[in-house]
Amino acid sequence: MGNEDNPGVAVRGQALSPERRRFLGRLSIALSAIAAAIVGIPVVGFIIGPLIQSEEPVWRQVGAVSNFQVGQTVKVSFEDPSPMVWAGVTSLTAAWLRRLDAERFVAFTINCAHLGCPVRWLPKAGLFMCPCHGGVYYADGTVAAGPPPHSLFKYPVRVRDGQVEIMASAVPIY
Amino acid sequence: MVGFIRKILSDAVDAFEERTGLIKFLGGIARHPVPPDTGWWYVFGSAVLVCFIIQVATGIALATRYVASSGSAYQVLNYITYKAVLGNLLRGMHFFGASAMILLVGIHMIQVFLMGCYKYPREFNWITGVMLLFLTVAMGFSGQLLRWDQTAVWATVLAAEMIGRTPLIGKYLARFLLGGKTLGGATLSRFLAFHVFFLPAAIFTVVGIHLYLVVHDGISAPPVRGEKVNPKTYRAGYEKLLEEKGVPFWPDVAWRDVVAALVVVVTIVSLAHFVGPPALNNPPNPSLLANDPRPDWYMLWYFAVLALLPRGLESVFMVLAPLAAFVFLLLVPVVWNKGERHPARRPWAVAMVITVVVTIIAFWIEGSRSPWSPDFDAKPLPATLVRSNLAPVINGAQLFYDKGCEFCHTVDGQGGARGPNLTDVAARLTLNDIKIRILNGGGNMPSFAGLLSREDLNDLVSFLESRVRQPTQISGGTSVPVATASERIARAANDPAPHFSK
């Protein structure tokens, strides 16, 4: 029951025409969607922020070169690349560091290439072994047995001013 | 005076009802007619709801002390467990409440499936139930991580690695889970948000729909042999049944739910008091590696499935199996929404349930044994088990430990179970076979060709050659003496070692 000359226009005291009802219904849905988007975009953006936030790898000192003997593999601990003040001990991570010769080092991640469990070094056996599903690696990180699909991941290592430095980076995801 | 107070209260209730209509509304729901003779099989749904209420109540109480800081949560957990008044009991109630909820969701689902309650017109109730099953498991897992000890930290890494196997978006999903590229400050807050906001909000919503549908479509009548569901006639038949024989839900049926609720509450509180919550592991320091992460009991069977899968199927299975299970369960009422409901007339349905339950129990037992995991707690074999004064055998026993053999092989009940039991290996393998296995490895065993000197290899073989269970071997029906240890050692030393590459 709208204006007879212009059926789309409402007249005070009269019911809305079907066309105007449809228009107002659609307008309400569209405005609601806009309002939801205005609130939702920053909310979702904040939640998925870690996916788009860049975290640069950082070199971490793990000890003087003289602390490591040629041919030996030892565990070294260091801070992850983006430690937060409230992270406490969870900001720590580790690597298996092997001194190859006077100048060269290799650092393996502690995470098994199978499912990320912490591998252990058995010095007398010369093997890395995983406690979860029994993955085994040789001293050079290559797969010796079990389910790991590939060798242990490696961190970049360098020697600066007599200090061994490891590039702390992301948890390796297969 | 009493009459005056009664009148004031009565007037207040009337005024409240006149303005809200809530008493009539809720009373109508409570007394809605349901089919007769529903019996005890129908209490499991409400028992799950009771568990959820316990989880909400105990969860809110625990949240008043919990600190979602990666650096402090472990100390807070220790405080709640060992110092806070009733903290140990509350943690136990929350843990056993979660366990009971998962167990009862499973039983409820089996009951609904076997009785054909998911058929027309209750398909959507089944679908919301499936959603609640997965949400409940997600709640359980996220709750295990909030314990925030070393096991929780490594379980988080495992979850990230598993979700990371998703094609194309795996790395992003893993980062979303961890709250960044590494485990750290953002991780725990994330799990807390999942555990106390996202997932409970989803559960509240879906439970609301689930309960609305229970009232809207009515509680299904107990199945009768030969009485088939026909979508065209079902509603009329159900209405007629309620009209003729229906009984009010409250209290005719509800009393059984209340009894079941009390049993659930008493069981959970008793277990919390007498057994207590799971002990906390070491602090959540990811640089400490002496850990063997594994899930809580309800996910142990899946842990076993992943461990026992043939290689190559793992990545596919990890991602697709939960998805396939979810889709299959969603499709159950779409595909089979009519026909027989009684389990006696649905042998395939019964067989399916038995198969699934037996399979889960079998994997669960394997998961609790975890024979595929090396036993790092194994100690060097004592002299009483070495049973020899000969230097090569004694040295071989030490090498058996030092080289990691014992972590995977059992000798006289000591050691891991990943590889074959070597208690009587000398009765099964020749000296050459033993050397070949050691040098060449294979399957789950590494090659030791480059890891053992010739002398060490001979000593190790000497030790293994001395491993016989019986004093005599039976050969062709004739008892022959076993070679003496010294004879075996001489053979081991003189036998040319086969040369095999890695």
What's the ipTM? Answer: 0.85
B chain contacts of residue A55, beta-carbon cutoff 8 Å? 180-182
- Please report which confidence band the pLDDT of residue B434 belongs to, taking 50, 70 and 90 as the band edges: very high
Identify the structural domains of chain B with CATH numbers, from first to last: 1-33 (no CATH), 45-221+250-281 (1.20.810.10), 383-494 (1.10.760.10)
Q: What is the pLDDT of residue B437?
A: 93
CATH number of A58-168: 2.102.10.10
Structure tokens of B292?
């063997």
Name which of A86, A120, A140 to mutate to probe chain B: the one with the most chain B Cβ atoms within 10 A of its Cβ.
A86
Residue A53 confidence (pLDDT): 80
B-chain CB neighbours of A87 within 8 Å are 70-71, 184-185
- What pLDDT digit, counting tens, does each position of B17-28 carry? 999 999 999 999
In the predicted model, is pLDDT for residue B473 greater than 50? Answer: no
Q: Could you tell me if A63 lies within 8 Å of chain B, comparing CB atoms?
A: no
pTM higher than 0.80 for the full model? yes
Whether A134 and chain B come into contact, CB under 8 Å, resolves to yes
Write out the two tokens for B248: 């009010």
| pLDDT-based confidence at residue B419 (cuts at 50, 70, 90) | very high
The confidence score (pLDDT) of residue B469 equals: 65
**Backbone dihedral region of B116: left (phi > 0), alpha (psi from -120 to 50 degrees) or beta?**
left
Each residue of B234-254: pLDDT tens digit?
999 999 999 999 999 999 999
Binary contact (B183, A48; C-beta < 8 A): no
Q: How far apart are the CA of A124 and the nearest CA of chain B, in angstroms?
A: 6
Question: What pLDDT, on the 0 to 100 scale, is given for residue B277?
Answer: 96
Tokens 């409402």, residue located = A10
Residues in CB range of A125: below 8 A, 6 or more apart: B402, B403, B404, B451
Angle ∠(B379,B382,B383) on CA atoms, nearest 5: 160
pLDDT of residue B499: 44
A90: nearest CB among B284, B294, B311: B284
Give the side-chain half-sphere CA count within 13 A for B182.
27
Phi and psi, residue B487, nearest 5°: -65, -40
Q: Indicate yes or no: CB of A51 within 8 angstroms of CB of B175.
A: yes
| A125/B184 touch (CB, cutoff 8 Å), yes or no | no
pLDDT digits (tens, 9 = 90+) for A47-65: 998 888 877 889 999 999 9
Q: Which residues of A touch B374 (CB under 8 A)?
A: 129-131, 134
pLDDT value, residue B273: 98
Does residue B490 surpass a pLDDT of 90?
no
pLDDT of res. B147: 92
Give CA–CA dist A173/B431, Å, rounded.
43
For residue A96, give the nearest of A79, A82, A117, A111 by alpha carbon: A111
Model confidence over B350-395: pLDDT tens digits?
A: 999 999 999 999 999 999 989 989 999 999 999 999 999 999 999 9
> Residue B383: is it exposed, middle or buried by C-beta count within 10 angstroms (0-12/13-18/19+)?
exposed
Report helix, strand or coil for A58: strand
Interface of A with B in 143-172 (CB under 8 A): 144-147, 169-171
Structural domain boundaries of chain A?
1-53, 58-168
Nearest Cα of chain A lies from the Cα of B39 at a distance, in angstroms, of 45
CA distance A132 to chain B (A): 5
Mean pLDDT score, B3-32: 95
Contact A174 B157 (CB under 8 A): no
Q: Which residues in A lie closer than 8 A to residue B372 (C-beta atoms)? A: 133-134
Angle at B341 between CA B337 and CA B344, to 5 degrees: 140
CA dist., res. B391 & res. B384, Å (int) = 15
Q: Using the beta-carbon criterion (under 8 Å), do B289 and A94 form an inter-chain contact?
A: yes
